[in-house]
Each structure stands twice: as C-alpha cells, then as structure tokens.
Amino acid sequence: MKTGVIENHKTNVYTKEKQAQLEELTKVVAQSSYLPELHIYPKAGLMNDPNGLAYFNQKYYVFFQWYPFAPVHGLKHWGKTTSKDLIHWSEQEPALIPDRHYEKNGCYSGNAFEYEDKLYLFYTANFKTPAGKIPKQALAIMDKDEKIIKVEKLIIDSGVEGLSGELRDPYVFSRNGLFYMLLGGSKFEGDEHPGFGEEGVLLLYKSENLLDWNYQGLIDLPIDTGYMLECPSLIEVDGKEVLFLSPMGMASDETRLNNRFATVYLVGELDLEERIFKTDQWDEMDAGFDFYAPQAFYKEKQPLMMAWFGCGEPEYPVDEQWQHGLTFTQKLHLKHGKLLRFPVDEILGAFSEGENVTTKSIMPNTSTYHLQLTDGFDFRVGSKEDYWSFTYDTDKEEACISREGLDQIIDETFGFERKAKVKHLTVVDVFVDNSFVEIYLNEGEIVFSFRVFQQITGTIYSTAHILVGTLNKKK
C-alpha cells in the first residue's frame, strides 16, 4: 500500500493554491536514496509515458504523464520539463491540467507536432462513464513563449463502430502536405461490452489543417496485437519507417515478451493508401523488466526516442513519494534491418573517459557510472547479500540479467530473469544511474532497461577487463 504524506487519493487536480503542498512533497522526494542523476524522474508523485517529445525553439521538450500528488496512477496531468543539452533539465511544472469536463478522468498520452512556429500538443481526453469510456481526442497549442492554450472544441469526439471506447494516444505526423494521426484501440470480436475488446488495433485519421480529422480505417499489422494497442509512434530511421507499438496482452514466447505489457517495433513502410504496415521485420523493443510506451521524435533529421522506465503497475519495494521515470534519450539507427538504440552523445559525454580495471572487484565512487566490457562479460553488482547480475552463455548465445540476488525483491509475479538471444557479443555498455540501469549489447542491438533498489550501489565483481567511467561533475 502506498501512503501519501499529505494526500492519498487519486483525483487531486493541480491549482496554484496546491503549489505549497507540491513543494512539501518535493522536499520528501529529494531525501530519497534512490534518485538518479541523469534520468528524468518525478519531483513528486508518479510519472509514466513520455508525451509531446520535441526539439522546438532550440530546446528539447519533454512532457510526461504525471500524477503529482501521490506515487499512484491517479488523475493524469501532463508535466513539462525542458533542456538544452539532455543532461540538465528545468524545474518540472504542470502543462496540461485536467480541469475541463471533457477530460474529467485525465489528460492522457499523445505527441507534439510543430506547425507554423507553434507546438501542437495532441492528447486523449479521458472520459469515463459507467457504461465504459467515451473516446475523445484533444489539442492544446503552445507558442514560443511556452504559453499553452487548449482548443476547446475536441478534435475527435466520437468512437468507431465495432471498437471499444478505449481509443487513445494520438501520434500525429505529416506526409505530402497532409496530416495523419495514428491512434491505439481495441476491437470487439463479438458483442460490444464496456472496457477493452478482444483485439488490439491501430487506427488512421487524416486532416488538412490539424483541427478537423477524418477516420480512414484500421491499419493492417502482421503481429499478435493482444487485446489493446497503446502509444503508437512512427519515425524514419536510415531510410525506413519504424513503428513503435505497446500492445497489452501479447503472448510471450520462450525468451521474449515476458513483461506485463509488451513493447515492439516494426521496420518497413507504412502504406497510407492500402492502410498496411509493410513489415520487413519486427522484434521486442527492450529485453528488460521496466520499459513501456516509447515515443519517437526528431532533432532536425536525427531520430530520437525516450520511453517510460516502468511497465504496468510494478511492485517496487520502496514506498516513497515518487514512482518511475524515463529512459535516457536514445538515438536510433538500423543495422541489418534491426533497430539499434544507444544513449545520445550528450549522455556519453557526461561520463569520464574511463579507467581500465582488471581486478575482481571494483567500487566506483559514485552511484552513477558507465561500464564497458569487451571480453569475459559476466559480472555482478552489489554485495553477496544484495546483488543483480549479467551473464552471457556463449554456447546458447544468450544474455541474461537476474534480479534474484537482490535483497529488496521486485515484482515477483513476472519472474526474476530476463533473457535475450544475441549472436557474437562483442561489447556490453552498462549505465548504472542509482536505481535505473540500462545495458546495451553490441551498441544497442539488444537493450535491457530495469530498476534495482540497493542499499549500497557500486561494488562490481567480474573477471573481465572493464572500462569504468564515472559521472563528470554536473555544472
């Protein structure tokens, strides 16, 4: 049970009068021993999906799903933070507050689209009724002075026959002078009923002015889409299109898709006329425990992304005034048709060059560090009583992370291990940022993102040659 210091209900709406209360919570969070240095985390309350990611007006904008008043999935606001270098982030503030009747159950996820020097923020206005949700998609427009104005007329105010009311997470992009929107949804196989249907679907809408939208139909996908699709995202990477999807209820296979909800990417081409994603290949996006709802965006032509560093409602051992955070900003590339993700250069530059270490155990002097292994590969982080580990089985060509040795157990329901097949492992980059860990194999061919909560971080046991970089002082 999570206990709020000041309030513990889920329906608090931010107003200026509540600023003092939020500051109190922020002070409590600042005392936590699990705070990262480089990852974005909520100054109070719960953060989930990244929203409205953009490089706009010479700055990076990160909006995010936020319940500021308690570490629970309460009434969602959009929080906002900005940065010039992806390392230093501005104070977080509420950007979209669910204060209109049409969004009475929260301002849900969506993306940002730059148009005529303004940032158009598309989002789902969450509206529940006893008979199920009534789908509503909304728009707010931000100018270069960061003034945000909600467009009071909903841009989509109806559902689609045969689909459940759970339609959400608009992702808007342009093609040949026209605008398109992807939306996640759920289809009924038989009779309609409240809640989710039985199959996840991807909807396509079209617009000439970003305000009036027309439904085009469903997009054909060659994968098991579970019972509901969330958070679609589309981005051009090295001449191909890459589609991110977060399906709920996708079946797991031997080593992949073992989390509560899956996240996958498809590489190919979106045919808007035929409404089909012509897929060359697809895969699970992250092999770790805590990853969901990635969103893609561009800095000029460079494709980038961030994801929620969490998945569903994981049971973390800590009971503090903050929950979750976002992954590093990652740059995207394709190699032999596979998606590679790797931290942006700004993040790599935040660590010292690295020192070669060959001893059995090392103790970095910070809880934020970068390890690079080019041989040996197996290692353990922590003490005998409290550790997590990485191993690579050369015969099976399988990498494995395990949280079984941790003193503070995390979400037992979904197991202690995650595995991934990887041929010819040549380099492992590990970024430990206190309780946030990202491990990149072969420069991002496979990525494990996961949380650990250790009393003392930093003792590493390994027989490999390790290059250890520690965090440069943040200026």
Nearer to ligand FRU, 308 or 440 (CB): 308
Nearer to ligand FRU, 169 or 433 (CB): 169
Nearer to ligand FRU, 126 or 367 (CB): 126
Q: To the nearest 10°, the Cα dihedral for 320, 322, 326, 328?
A: -60
**x-or-dash pattern for ligand FRU, window 104-143, by CB under 6 A?**
----xx--------------x-------------------
Helix (H) or strand (E) holding 149: strand 148-156
Q: Which two tokens stand for residue 90?
A: 């501005």
Nearer to ligand FRU, 77 or 370 (CB): 77
Instruction: Candidates 12, 26, 65, 263: give the one binding ligand FRU (CB under 6 A).
Output: 65
**x-or-dash pattern for ligand FRU, window 339-368, by CB under 6 A?**
------------------------------
Smallest separation (angstroms) from ligand FRU to the CB of 205: 17
Q: Give residues 72-91 in contact with ligand FRU (rule: CB under 6 A).
A: 76
Residue 46 interacts with ligand FRU (CB under 6 A)? no
Query: CA gyration radius for the chain?
Result: 22
Smallest separation (angstroms) from ligand FRU to the CB of 121: 13
Name the residue type at position 270.
Answer: L
Residue 169 interacts with ligand FRU (CB under 6 A)? yes
Distance, in Å, from the CA atom of 424 to the CA atom of 398, rounded to the nearest integer, reads: 10
Nearer to ligand FRU, 262 or 362 (CB): 262
Cα-Cα-Cα-Cα dihedral sign, residues 62, 66, 72, 73: negative
Cβ atoms of 437 and 450 within 8 Å: the answer is yes
Nearer to ligand FRU, 81 or 124 (CB): 124
Beta-sheet strand order (sheet of 148-156): 112-115, 118-124, 137-142, 148-156
Beta-sheet strand order (sheet of 264-271): 228-237, 240-248, 264-271, 276-284
Residue 230 interacts with ligand FRU (CB under 6 A)? yes
163: DSSP letter: B
| Cα–Cα separations (whole angstroms), residue 366 to 13, 206, 357, 433, 434 | 38, 50, 16, 9, 9
Interface positions with ligand FRU (CB under 6 A): 48-49, 65, 76, 108-109, 124, 168-169, 230-231, 292-293
